[in-house]
Amino acid sequence: MFTGIVSDIGEVTAREDGRFTIRARYPAQELEVGGSMACDGCCLTMTSVRSDASGSLFTVDVSNETRGKTTIGEWQPGRKINLERSLRLGQELGGHLVTGHIDGLARIVDIVPDGESRRISFDVAEHLAPYIAPKGSVSLDGVSLTVNEVSDKRFGVNVIPHTLTVTTWGAKTPGQSVNLEVDLFARYIARLLEFRP
């Protein structure tokens, strides 16, 4: 379980089929094999961890299913990704509850400056649109964001300067796809309504 509050920007340093090596600033002694890491919002299991001059290097194995339904299939060495370590009991829940189970992709349609912030609009697949509501939460590339407006299959968010600086969002451009996880509660409410008598 995660919160959508990114705590590091990692870098993919190697790719061999479905195995990726990622450099992070987290001290290696604070990471453990078998532990979870949200990588651009995807919950992945660390399969090895070692020290590095800048902090640590860890590897993750990613299935064909996950690579096909997320942006991970595009990852190449040099790519920067948002990282968040798993939530520990008793920690502050600063964003919203995020599972790291990606529902699909959202495509950036437009980025418009709004003061020092940026208003970013997205298109999503029709089957995901009902789960996105104004003032609700979404996780986009692992970042907890509040939905500003929704119109059919399009929705918008506002990204503040701090988030632009401490995540990969400062480098995003129109046309890119990002990993989308809809709000956990919206997903369960929709499922319950399917069985309403």
Q: Is the pLDDT of residue 90 over 90?
A: no
Q: Which fold has domain 8-85?
A: Elongation Factor Tu (Ef-tu); domain 3 (2.40.30)
d(C-alpha 182, C-alpha 23), whole Å: 28
In the chain, the percentage of residues whose pLDDT exceeds 70 is: 95
pLDDT category at 167 given cuts 50, 70, 90 is very high
Summarised one tens digit per residue, pLDDT across range 5-47 is 999 999 999 999 899 999 999 999 999 999 999 999 999 999 9
Structure tokens at 52: 């590095």
d(C-alpha 188, C-alpha 137), whole Å: 14
Q: Is the pLDDT of residue 139 over 80?
A: yes
Question: What pLDDT was estimated at residue 97?
Answer: 83
d(C-alpha 75, C-alpha 77), whole Å: 7
Which CATH number is associated with domain 104-194? 2.40.30.20
Q: Where are the domains of the chain?
A: 8-85, 104-194
- Domains 8-85 and 104-194 in one fold: yes
Q: Is the pLDDT of residue 78 over 70?
A: yes
Question: What pLDDT was estimated at residue 89?
Answer: 67
Task: Identify the DSSP state of 131.
Answer: G
CA distances from 177 to 66, 102, 104 (A): 15, 13, 10
Q: Is the pLDDT of residue 48 over 90?
A: yes
Average pLDDT over residues 46-60: 96
d(C-alpha 28, C-alpha 50), whole Å: 6
